[in-house]
Structure 1
């Protein structure tokens, strides 16, 4: 939230100059399309760059935008050109001047337009006042030519008198009455990732801002771990699942974040540091700055450095614990492989037949990426939820030959017995592939239906290819078979270890975005020796690992098929073929 800027110089690089050229062209286009509106937006830039701030040297100077500020300003102007409500979430590195820019932009709008109301929300009153002091300084140093009204100001509000009436006020995220009974056109939510309980204030903000093109909701924050509302909203914005538009600002794009390197200077990089510099195409000057900052300002800790100065958005959200699955491969699949299903719906029995029939339906629980093929075999894993409105029941379908997850069933609107019918239908649809069902808790009811059928569903007489867990009974020195997959602490860790190894080696290909996000959030807490899920569903805001468990069981079924592929029956006594 520091007020500062970088003065323009002859050393501006080409991308910075291009940003200014784009802004000029955009302003020209606006004037041609909507003369009055374009004129206003054209003058907003000049208005902002005549506002006064205090720079790092303690001098009162004009706000000449730096590159990061230019990038954000360009996005703000674009949204107004399109005449759509402006909704942004900005994940940023430290001290880029974004809070200052948003305050300047909002101050320009409430000064130029009558009857506009703006709100600044921060985690604490001190944080809100720090941001608000920027607007107060703008007002105190505003030339008479820019405004004929003198706003009244106190510690929490800046308000123009009649007939203008526009105002800017501050509040905290802890205020239970935030936004109640009022309408705001522009809202600046500062450091949202650090709000203690962000769901309620964000809900209040969403209700008090109209869905009109001349409105703005701008979240800005450095990251503060994974799994919180800021992280989940960022993921949704990246995936295009919400109205929020993502803006990521890397430290690498900021010219000041570099240190001079002598011609023969040896930076003495570790293997990890060299890999970081190479992967992100850093110059020697940027590399020196990054290492100096990590070692001296971030306790020589990569996680802290990535959180405060991320070079890529995914690095900003530090997980508490060790990510269980390869994060680079997960991101690669999320960026390049994850796609919407080719078909969505449900399965039902054909009339007077035990054969399944697919019915397309947008509300269906079944997502299909690839239909069954006669030359392929399949394995299915099922994690059974508690029932209606509780955890999800998930079935993952894995192609044995290709390792592709070709279909996924996911619902928390079915009871365990009905889920058994759906499991039978899905298994029969994919050539009666080996079906492993977790037997813990409600899974027993599902297993009973799949093994014995249901009296009122005549088409089900028992699934012919159910998985049985084989173990040696200590009381009776012989092998015992028990229906279903048994999940306990030992089997879960072993199963997920094998799944992680197969995933890292490329043995499994996943098209489902939600499955990948669950995998991205699964971490191992070494201190508690337990798994923890940091990803929360965008819909329920709850953490789930149902899709991971179902996928793990499906992979175990695939391995079971592979191990038994040459064995037609039990071995003769003595182990001879």
Structure 2
């Protein structure tokens, strides 16, 4: 048994069942099995208005198994759930929290919903569990204030409370609309419901205070769940969990995992091309596709993108953009899924002027440099803000445009310049174009004055590439054409991911709120510089020949002087 049954329950069970040992054993078995506990002890109100035992569906069972797997592994349970609408995860999470809190002593549970109405619904669910649970495991409860269940002896006499205090556990339900959450008590069981829909200005602050108050002890429970709502804090937490950057286990549940999401097929029902693809990809039946068709038409205003957000088939489907997307994300996803080359990670050691294999290196190499080939290295620089974009650079082959390497991270400008110097020399002295906006001037200063890089790109008599009102529209236009028409071999999945969050904001293509476009800009610079690279390489070749012929003209500085 993963719970420690409270003394109040043990006493009551022994007293009432002392002459029926088989019933006592049966009760112990029920309390040791959460799914049995739900079926035998808890009641819910169904969508049809009936009162029924809580029976877990397959998606709920998957979630429950993960909870108990982490408990049995001696871990604090941390789970983040991305789901389709109304799959019953609030119901099963509240059942888990009621199970842990109402059967054990000195446990604090804290539940936060997106609005006052939603928090009232969740509190009513707890109240209903308590009202309908069999008397043999119903803990004492004192009169509660708004949205709080307190399991303790309600008697007024202090002596009686000392002799039989009850559980001293409580369940508190609040709304994310509150000004402050969870500033004092330790939380043992936390449920953050529909986090994507919490007030935007309070969301990050509330999550920080809740997670700080959540116990780190084994057996504690932290569940963050939501339907997607664009690119915001929940999306960041989900991505961090998927990448392994947090201890939260990501669980995704598609709409077709819900057994109720189906409708009878009408006469003459024929699948569209898109529906055929969905049927083959996810093994759907016609009743599920008829439910999808009905829901798009009646609940989503005829917009399949809205359906994808509310009822996703895959995690990437869920996160709709806050503006109009520049690209068709399904097309971009197909390109990303079709990538043929898997790169190998490396570290740039600019001290030894070497590139060495490293499992977590910042450089991903798709093609090694080949003798006689010429390369373009284009670099975008970070904005210089803590929450700004990253440094990003791409190496492409000058003749074919094939992607050869991708560099991404955050570095001091001098270190970034030295890494670019080593990378450019490695690729046969690539034509190196650094965006000179923002912190780019400092990066160029390192390349020019410290590294003496021999082949730096110039734009209108200035070092580097300048992104401005004249050049940016051309960059984005050529980038869109390259992606749309699949002009070049692209191997970086993260570049395609950025394409999925590139939106039109008042006629300007830029990253959606909370997203980045540093890879897009770096690759766009590479495409622009490639168009004029031939004359630079020819110039550099002549310059090298002149140096070989006359050592008097040789300058130890940069090659373009």
Shared fold by TM > 0.5?
A: yes
Name which of 366, 375, 378 aligns with 1:378: 375
1: CA distance, partners of 2:179 / 2:336: 37
- The aligned counterpart of 1:254 is 258
Give the aligned partner of residue 236 of structure 2: 232
Indicate the residue corresponding to 1:243 in structure 2: 247
Secondary structure of the corresponding residue to residue 198 of structure 1: helix
Map Cα deviations across residues 68-107 of structure 1 (whole Å, 9 max, x no partner): 2222222222222222111111111122111111111110
Q: Secondary structure of 1:342's match?
A: strand
CA distance in 2, matches of 1:388, 1:312: 33
The answer to whether structure 1 residue 552 and structure 2 residue 524 are counterparts is yes
Q: Is the 8 A contact 1:396 1:408 kept in 2?
A: yes
- Equivalent residue in structure 1 for 2:72, among 70, 81, 103: 81
**Residues 502 and 508, structure 1, Cα contact 8 Å, conserved in 2:** no
Other-structure match for 1:300? 302
> Residue 11 of structure 1 corresponds to which residue in structure 2?
none
Tell me the residue number matched to 1:164.
167
Distance 2:96 2:142 in 1: 17
1:387–1:413 CA contact under 8 A, matched in 2: no
Structure 1 residue 245 displacement after superposition: 1.2
Query: Secondary structure of 2:100's match?
Result: helix
> 2:413 aligns to what SS in structure 1?
coil
Does 2:489 align with 1:493?
no
The 2-side partners of 1:386 and 1:319 are apart by 23
1:54-93 alignment to 2 at 5 Å?
54-93=45-84
Segments of structure 1 that go 5 or more residues without pairing to the other structure are: 1-37, 351-355, 470-479, 537-542, 570-577
Query: Residue 518 of structure 1 contacts residue 535 of structure 1 at CA under 8 Å; is this kept in 2?
Result: no
Worse-superposed segment, 232-241 or 293-302: 232-241
1: CA distance, partners of 2:144 / 2:490? 59
Question: Measured at CA, do residues 432 and 325 of structure 1 come closer, stay the same or move farther in structure 2, by a change above 3 Å?
Answer: farther
Question: Given the two structures, how large is their TM-score scaled by the length of structure 2?
Answer: 0.79
- Of 168-177 and 102-111, the range deviating more from structure 2: 168-177
Among candidates 42, 48, 55, match of residue 38 of structure 2: 48
Cα 1:566–1:286 change in 2 (3 A) is farther
How far 1:387 sits from its partner (Å)?
4.2
How far did 1:490 drift? Answer: 4.6
Q: How many angstroms apart in 2 are the aligned matches of 1:491 and 1:52?
A: 64
In structure 2, do the counterparts of structure 1 residues 325 and 377 end up closer, same or farther at CA, with 3 Å as the change threshold? farther
Distance of 2:227 and 2:492 partners within structure 1 = 30
| d(CA) in 2 for partners of 1:447, 1:509 | 27
Matched positions, count: 494
User: Which residue matches 1:404?
Assistant: 403
Residue of structure 1 aligned with 2:454, choices 464, 487, 500: 464
Note the C-alpha offset of 1:141: 0.9
Change (3 A) 1:508 1:40: farther
User: Gaps spanning 5+ residues in structure 2: where?
Assistant: 1-27, 153-164, 543-561
**Shift in Å at residue 318 of structure 1?**
0.9
Name the structure 2 match of 1:367.
363
User: Matched residue of 1:436: which SS?
Assistant: strand
CA distance in 2, matches of 1:273, 1:362: 41
Matches within 5 A, 1:50-449: 50-147=41-138, 149-150=140-141, 152-161=143-152, 162-196=165-199, 197-225=202-230, 227-262=231-266, 265-267=267-269, 272=274, 275-277=277-279, 279-325=281-327, 327-328=329-330, 330-331=332-333, 342-348=345-351, 356-358=353-355, 366-369=362-365, 372-375=368-371, 376-387=373-384, 389=386, 391-400=389-398, 403-414=402-413, 419-447=416-444
Equivalent residues of 2:139, 2:167 under 8 A apart: no
Aligned-residue Cα RMSD (Å) equals 3.3
For residues 270 and 564 of structure 1, the distance between their equivalents in structure 2, rounded to whole angstroms, comes to 52
Counterpart of 2:12? none
Q: Match of 1:133, SS?
A: helix
Please tell me whether the aligned partners of residues 533 and 545 of structure 1 are also in contact (alpha carbons under 8 angstroms).
yes
Q: 1:563 to 1:152 in 2, by over 3 A?
A: farther
SS at match of 1:187: strand
Give me the TM-score of the superposition, normalised by structure 1: 0.77
Indicate conservation of the 8 Å contact 1:93/1:308, yes or no: yes
Cα distance between partner residues in 1 of 2:224 and 2:130 = 23
Residues 377 and 433, structure 1, Cα contact 8 Å, conserved in 2: yes
